Chain A
Amino acid sequence: MTTHPKLGIAILTVAGALATLGCGSMKTPATASVAVSNAAVDNAAGAGGAEFAPVEMSTARSKMALANKAMAAKDYKLANDLAMQAQADARLAQGKADSAKAKAAADALQDDIRVLREELDRTSK
């Protein structure tokens, strides 16, 4: 059957573009990722991540260290990957810290209520 030559070239160009996309400059995205991830780690640390999610925090920190090394070695793809993972770890660490603190507050309040109820029962007898 007849195929338009233009269509064939077009497909090949797209295929070629796709093939080379993996080797394109990742420097800008990697720099951005590293910055965002550093911020995420700092936020998580400030929220008490070390106390409530020590595993996630130490993982995030060691991945950031490796990402920085990769940036210095101009391995931007690796740096980006590591930074993305560190970001996810840091956000999870922060999430654990926040939920632990919220639960502690809720428990403390329940204790208050329990004590108050006991007092009320006692004095109304």
Chain B
Amino acid sequence: MKRFALLTLAVALGACSSVPRTTSLLDQTRVDYRAAQSDASVARYAPLELKQAGDAMEQANAAASHSESDDKIDKLAYLAKQKIALTQEVAKQKAAEAEVAMSAKERDQMRLAQRTNEADKAKADSLQANQVAQAALDEAALAQRRTGEAQRANRESQARAAQLEAQLAELSAKKTERGIVITLGDVLFGVDVARLNPDGMRTAQKLADVLQQNPNRNVLIEGYTDSTGTAPHNQELSERRAGAVRSALQEMGVAGGRVTARGYGQSNPVAANDTAQNRQLNRRVEIVLSDDGGKISQR
């Protein structure tokens, strides 16, 4: 009885304890498992999945060491293989998520730096724009002042020109090829004398005013007589009359250098000396006004 029991047991046990088996899938799975075990990323990020893969590996190994069928071993090895592959995927995922967390911080810092840069740049740009605008305003103000000054100067010179025209009109000035000529007639002098009478002095004063207001202009005073009397007498008279006008102008404040006086005697008459009227016309003093630059064209 006892021996039969022991024999059955031996046979039963003997059926399970032959040489440990393996399959190629199990071998490959063991290689995969060793790789996962030594992967630091897996150990760090997927410890739970690694444990589950390890349990599955144990089951497959146990089936092999108990010499189960190839089919059974392969089924268990397949499960273990998929679970091992899962450890790698989970590790990759968790590592990427950790990187995202860190990088998000880095990105936010850079965005902040960029915005600061932009703000600084905008400030600098606006400051510069202000300076440019201010400079433009200053230029415009300056240009406006200059225009105003130019306009004033223009108006003043126009006013002076108008005044001069009016004054010359009052003096009955004539435009000739020599320039502007003012004729002081005989009536402005005493008879046969070289002295200006009050009317003559008034005329001289008007001329002095013109010269005061137009300091760039000079005058040439030319005296003429009619043909009555001797030529030397007339020469001298004409010179004295011209000189009288000159003196009057000087007394009225016109600088001597601006006034030249000459006598031409009875030459250059303007009319024939046949009638009293014509002779009176010839007894004259002509005053030639220079141009604005002070030049007088000579007779």
Contacts and interface: CB of A to CB of B under 8 A. Distances in A.
A85 B78 contact: yes
Given A85-B78, A102-B92, A109 B107 contact: yes
B298 interface: no
Contacts of A105: 96-97, 100
- How many A residues are at the interface, by size bracket? 20 to 34
- Chain B interface mostly: helix
B111 A3 contact: no
Nearest to B85: A92
- Chain A interface mostly: helix
Contacts of B86: 88, 91-92, 95
Contact of A88 (B13, B78, B111): B78
Interface string B102-121: 01101100110110011001
A88 B82 CA distance: 6
A124 B117 contact: yes
B19 interface: no
Contacts of B121: 123
Nearest to B93: A99
A109 B114 contact: no
A12 B6 CA distance: 9
Contacts of A12: 5, 8-9
A32 interface: no
B296 interface: no
Contact of A95 (B79, B89, B99): B89
Contacts of B97: 102, 105-106
A81 interface: yes
Nearest to A101: B93
17 contacts: A3-B2, A5-B1, A8-B9, A19-B12, A81-B75, A84-B79, A88-B78, A88-B82, A95-B89, A96-B89, A98-B89, A98-B90, A99-B93, A102-B100, A103-B96, A113-B103, A123-B121
Interface of A: 3, 5, 8-9, 11-12, 15, 19, 81, 84-85, 88-89, 91-92, 95-96, 98-99, 102-103, 105-106, 109-110, 112-113, 116-117, 119-120, 123-124
Closest CB pairs A-B (n = 8): A95-B89, A102-B96, A88-B82, A99-B93, A8-B5, A99-B92, A116-B110, A106-B96
